[in-house]
Structure 1
Amino acid sequence: MSVHVDIGENRNVRLTDERIECRPPNRIAFAAEGVITVTRELLGEFEGASLKPVRVDISVDEARTVRADLEGPASIRLETVDVGVETPDTDDLSPGMDSVSASADDSVESTDTSPGAIAFSVEGAIVDVPMETLDPITDGTPSLESVVFAVDDPVRTDGGSDDVVFSLGLLGHRIVIYRNGAIDVGTGEKGVDVDIL
């Protein structure tokens, strides 16, 4: 099973800033800021699963899209992730966040009218990018178009502190993000607590 997140079409994801830079010979650096709306139903769809990024689509111009395959030699390496959280039972967003209305994407129907919102800032790189993927991005004005995740059993790591970028308890679920971009969705967490690791 896979999940295709179209950044421009998915109302649950709103980017407010992004930067994509090619760094020859084989690296694409990126930074993005935005807001994601999250409901219990949406998290429940992925409970006990791991979402692993397998492809990033980068728009070079109106006519060209470059696909970075993350199942070959290329892979994601997250450097920093910062978040701010609004839960359904609070009136104010965390500092610096805008109000976001709830809307389900095409693949998940939601009946929860009180979503949580996560403001995020992430920096990292796609490393070991083949030259044929890098060249068209270097010559264009790149922007993030979409990300495809494979949905599998939770990723098992070696337990090293370098693997986890952060963990977050939200809407009864524990969300853990790893340096390789994998996202584990667990259960049994009450309330909200953000652990930046």
Structure 2
Amino acid sequence: MSTEYTALTLVQGDITEQTVDAVVNAANSSLLGGGGVDGAIHRRGGPEILAECRSLRASQYGRGLPTGQAVATTAGRLPARWVIHTVGPVHSDSEDRTALLVSCYERSLQVAAELGARTVAFPAISTGVYRWPIADGARTAVATVRAAIAAAPDAFDEIRFVVFDAGAREAYEAALAEDDGGR
């Protein structure tokens, strides 16, 4: 069902518990699981996700999924239909990699739209072990998602940002208020 607007929501919690069409995984390029969000999604989602990731590695991504790109698999045992894996950039003090972070959100939404996903849950991509500063990561995520919604206002019903702790929640609350003119 199409709506006139897409709801942007913020949840502090576990991304593996989100009942949405598509959950975005902050994956590493191997697509074979890891720590943080990636490890949690693979553990909770079960072997079906890993099997599809191995198949992708064997067929299309022999050298791994490039940073900023996105690809979908089953969600296995997660309460979602799909997992969209995207590889965020490692933060650098000497090189601006913002375009790669933006690409993670854009490509993930592109894949979600191609799948027909109406509800999508995003983690705070690159803000964990990849050391992206949370306030900047939140601003980038919110601005990029809002731009994508403006370009295709009927593509999604809800885009949900799912953060793990209070500090990240506060950063996303500030970014949502800032980017929304304080409303």
Q: What range is the shorter-chain TM-score in?
A: under 0.3
Instruction: Compute the TM-score of the two structures, normalised by the length of structure 1.
Output: 0.26
Which of the two has greater strand per residue?
1
Which of the two has greater helix per residue?
2
Instruction: Compute the TM-score of the two structures, normalised by the length of structure 2.
Output: 0.28
